[in-house]
Structure 1
C-alpha cells in the first residue's frame, strides 16, 4: 500500500471515529504534505492536525489513529522515520547500533528478572531526565520483553497490563522525587511541582507503551480490528449514564468552554438581529425628504428577551452524573437569564440554587446530597410526590416568563405520576422542556412514565451526551 492509499484509509478511519473531515480538508491535507514531504514524521503529524482537526476534543482520537496508520517503525526495529534510519543502523534512534534483544521465550526466569531490573534502571534515568526518545525505546523494549503472550490462530498476542506491571513505573516515584529535589526541603510548592512533573512523565511513558501495544496488535490483526477498540467515543459523545471515572473528569473540563462558546454564539446572534419591528410613523416622516418614497426605513428598538429559568432535576443514583453536568452548565449560563432557580429531587424536592453560587463547583453534587432535603420516604425515585412537593412549596417560581426545564429519566418505580399537577405547572410556564438521558428506544419501557409526561411538556428531548446537551441549550437560549 502506498502513502496516498494509507492517507485515504486514515481519513476514513477519522470519520468512523466521529471526527468530521470534509473533502476540501482532505485536499488541504494532501497539499500540505505535498509541499513539505514525508521525511519528517512529526511534521507530517502537525500538517495533518492543522488541516483535519477543528476542535481540541478531536485530538486524542487523531493522535491514536495517526500512530496506528503511520507508525514510526515496523516489527521490533524497522523504522519508518527516515531521520531514525539515517542515524541508527537498527532504528533505535540513539545514533549507535544496539544489539538486538533475544526473544523473551529464550531467556530463563533469572535472565528475565535481570532484564527487567536493567530496564527499570534505564527507565529511572529517562524519567529523571525527561528524555522522550529514551522513553520510546524503553516502551518498545518493555512490550517486546514482557507484553507478549501466546495467541490463537493469529499468532502472538500483546497485553498492555503485562508490560506496565513489569516496569512498575509508579513505584519509582520516591527515587525520582529524591533525584529531582536534591537537598531541597520537602513540602510546599517545590514538592508539589516535582510530584506533578513525575506524574506527567510516568503518564507519558504509559501512553507510549499503550501506543506500542496497539501498533503490534495492528500488525498481527489488521488496522481496522484494532481501530475499533483503540478509539473510544469522542468526549462529547460519551453517554452520561455509562461514563467511567476518567470520562467524568474529562466531561467536567468541557462544561465551561462549552458555556463560553454558547454565550459567544448568543452575543453574535443578538448583534446581528438588533432591528425590531418597523416604526411606520418615523418611516413616513423620513420619507418626506425623498418625495414620499420610503428610502430610509426606521425600526423600533429591539428589547432582547431574557427569560427566567427554573431547573427541576432528578439526582437519584441512576442519573446523578447527568444532573451534575446539566446543573454545572446551567450555572455557567446563568448570565443569559434574568433569574435562575434550581431544584433537586429524589422522592421529594428542595431548592438547591444556593449550591450553584461561587466558583468552586467540584463538590456541588456531594453538598446537594449531604445538605439538601431530597428524601421523603424510601429514597427511591418518586416523580409524583416530588412534583406535588414542588408545586406546594415552590409553585410561585413558575410564571409566564419562566422556561421550565426538567432533567431525569422519568423512571417512577410504578408510583403515581401527579400528571394533573404537572400539567398545571407546564401551563403556568412560558416553555416547558424535559431532557431525558436514556435512549429514545427505552422510553415507555418498564417503569418509565415518559408516555405520560411527554404529552404535557413542549418537548421531551433525548440528551445522552455533551453534544446533544449543547445542541439543546443553544436552541433554547434567548435570542
Structure 2
C-alpha cells in the first residue's frame, strides 16, 4: 500500500506514525480500537482525499469508531493530531478586521460581516467563514499571558457575541429585507440560525485549540481540550451538557447488563441433583452413578429495594442509577423505591407505568413526596431509623437492598443500629457511593463508618456503575 503521494511505502511514512499515535491516544481515553480497525484506517487512506479534511475525518471515524456516543471525543482528539494547518493561518485579510486610526477593530463591522456569512449557505461562504474564524481568534481572542501569547475562545466569542445576531441571521435566511418586525421569526429559520452560530463557535474552538497546541504542545492542551467519554464522566462534577451525554448511555448499558444478568441466572440455577433419577440411570453402569441427573430448575426472580438520597449533591447520580435499575426491572419480581433527604418515603408509584418519563417522574417525586421534615439537609441516620420502623417489611430474605448516596450525614447521628437491622433483614445489601474512596470520611462524611456495616462500592461514573450493577445484583 502506498502513501497518498504514491512514492514510498506507507509503513515508513511519517503520516502512518502520526496515525498510529492518534489511535494510541484514542485507546488511552477508553475508545476501543482493535488491530483490524487500524488496518482498515490505513487502507482507507489510499482512497481518501487527504486534502479534504472533512472527508478524511469521516473516513477515520467510520473505520475506528464503534460507538457514535464517542464521536465528540474522537473529533477533539482528531483536531489535535490532524490540525487544519500550521502557523498563523489568518487567511486573507477580511475587511471587517481592518484597524482604525487607534489600532482597534470595529466590532460592529465584524458582527455585520459575520451575520452575512452565517446567512449564506454557499460553499464559498463556508470557506470564508473558516478564514473569518481564524481572523477572529487572532484579532479578538489573543491575549498576553505570563508564558507568552495565548488565545481564548471565551474572549473571542464574548467580544463578537454572535448569539444576539440570531434574529438578524434568520431574517436574512428568510429572504427578508428586515423592514418587517416579523421577518425570520418562523421557528425553522430561528433554529437554522442558532445551528449556524453553534457551528461558528465550533470553528472558534478548533482554531483556539490548534493555536494553543502549537504553542504549548498537544499533550498539555489535550488535558483540558478533550472531554471525557460519557461513560467516564464524573457524576458529581458533570455539567448539564455532560449529564445529557451520560443520560444517553443508560439505555444501551441497560440492554447489555440485562443480557449478562440473564446469562448469569441461567448458569447459576442448574438445579439440585435428583437422587432417584440418578440411581435409576446408574443401572446401566452396574449401579455406578456416572451421569448425574438434576432436577429441573425453577429460578425465581429476586426482589429489589432501592433507597436513595435525592438531595442536591447526589441527585444526578441517584437519578441515573434509578433509571438504570428501572431499565432492568424485568430481571426482578418486584422493585420498590424509597427516597429521602432527611426523611424517607416510598416513591415507587412515581416510577410505575410502561411509558415512563423519568424527568417528569423525578420532578413529581421531589414536589409531592414527603422527603423533608427537618432542616432539609441529608440525614442518613434519621432516614434509616424511619425506614427500619415503618418499611422494614419491604425487605425479605430472597431480595436485595441497594442504597445510593455519598454518606455525608451533615454531622447528624448515623444510627448504625437501624442500618444493621436493615442489612440483617435481607439476603443482599450494597451501598453505591458516587464519591472517590479517598474522600470518604472527609468533612461530614461517615462513609467508612457505614462501610463497616454494609458493603460499600465507589461508583463515580457510568462505567463503574455498570460494572457494579452487573457484579452485585442477585440472580
User: TM-score by structure 1 length?
Assistant: 0.83
Q: Which residue of 2 aligns with 1:172?
A: 165
Q: Which residue of 2 aligns with 1:353?
A: 348
Q: Secondary structure at the match of 2:236?
A: helix
Alignment of 1:429-440 (within 5 A): 429-440=426-437
Which stretch of structure 1 is more off in the superposition, 22-31 or 138-147? Answer: 22-31
Which stretch of structure 1 is more off in the superposition, 216-225 or 99-108? Answer: 99-108
Q: 2:220 aligns with which of 221, 225, 235?
A: 225
Q: Deviations over 1:99-150 (max 9, x none)?
A: 4458969554676346514522433323699965454343233323322233
Q: Which residue of 1 aligns with 2:378?
A: 381
2: CA distance, partners of 1:50 / 1:272 = 37
2: CA distance, partners of 1:148 / 1:231 = 21
2: CA distance, partners of 1:60 / 1:255 = 17
Alignment of 1:327-346 (within 5 A): 327-346=322-341
2: CA distance, partners of 1:103 / 1:225 = 33
CA-atom RMSD in angstroms: 3.5
State the Cα distance separating 1:259 from its structure 2 match: 1.8
Question: Is residue 465 from structure 1 mapped to residue 461 from structure 2 by the alignment?
Answer: yes
Q: Which residue of 2 aligns with 1:11?
A: 23
1: CA distance, partners of 2:395 / 2:27 = 44
Q: Secondary structure at the match of 1:362?
A: helix
Q: Deviations over 1:404-447 (max 9, x none)?
A: 01111112233222212221211110100011111111223333
1: CA distance, partners of 2:117 / 2:96 = 20
State the Cα distance separating 1:222 from its structure 2 match: 1.7
Structure 2 spans left out of the alignment, 5+ residues: 1-12
Q: Secondary structure at the match of 1:329?
A: helix
1: CA distance, partners of 2:49 / 2:171 = 44
Q: Is this contact kept in 2: 1:314–1:323, CA < 8 A?
A: yes
Q: Secondary structure at the match of 2:453?
A: coil
Q: Which residue of 2 aligns with 1:140?
A: 134
Alignment of 1:157-168 (within 5 A): 157-168=150-161
Q: Deviations over 1:275-318 (max 9, x none)?
A: 54454544565677899898987543333331111111112222
Alignment of 1:101-250 (within 5 A): 101=94, 107-108=100-101, 112-113=106-107, 115-126=109-120, 132-154=126-148, 156-180=149-173, 191-250=186-245
State the Cα distance separating 1:402 from its structure 2 match: 1.9
Q: Is this contact kept in 1: 2:400–2:474, CA < 8 A?
A: no
Q: Is this contact kept in 2: 1:127–1:135, CA < 8 A?
A: no
Structure 1 spans left out of the alignment, 5+ residues: 79-91, 93-98
Alignment of 1:282-293 (within 5 A): 282=277
2: CA distance, partners of 1:137 / 1:295 = 80
Q: Secondary structure at the match of 2:359?
A: coil
Question: Is residue 476 from structure 1 mapped to residue 469 from structure 2 by the alignment?
Answer: no
1: CA distance, partners of 2:386 / 2:291 = 56
User: TM-score by structure 2 length?
Assistant: 0.83
1:302 to 1:48, Cα distance in 2 relative to 1, 3 A: farther
2: CA distance, partners of 1:131 / 1:284 = 85
Q: Which residue of 2 aligns with 1:82?
A: none
Q: Which residue of 1 aligns with 2:248?
A: 253
Question: Is residue 68 from structure 1 mapped to residue 83 from structure 2 by the alignment?
Answer: no
Q: Which residue of 2 aligns with 1:83?
A: none
State the Cα distance separating 1:182 from its structure 2 match: 6.5
1:103 to 1:152, Cα distance in 2 relative to 1, 3 A: farther
Q: Secondary structure at the match of 2:358?
A: coil
1: CA distance, partners of 2:22 / 2:401 = 45
Which stretch of structure 1 is more off in the superposition, 376-385 or 9-18? Answer: 9-18
State the Cα distance separating 1:194 from its structure 2 match: 4.0
1: CA distance, partners of 2:296 / 2:125 = 63
State the Cα distance separating 1:204 from its structure 2 match: 2.2
Q: Is this contact kept in 1: 2:111–2:162, CA < 8 A?
A: no
State the Cα distance separating 1:391 from its structure 2 match: 1.2
Q: Is this contact kept in 2: 1:127–1:202, CA < 8 A?
A: no
Q: Secondary structure at the match of 1:317?
A: coil
Q: 1:454 aligns with which of 451, 454, 472?
A: 451
1:473 to 1:194, Cα distance in 2 relative to 1, 3 A: farther
Q: Which residue of 2 aligns with 1:371?
A: 368
2: CA distance, partners of 1:123 / 1:448 = 54
Q: 1:59 aligns with which of 29, 46, 71?
A: 71
Q: Deviations over 1:157-205 (max 9, x none)?
A: 211123223443322222343455579xx99xx9444443333332222
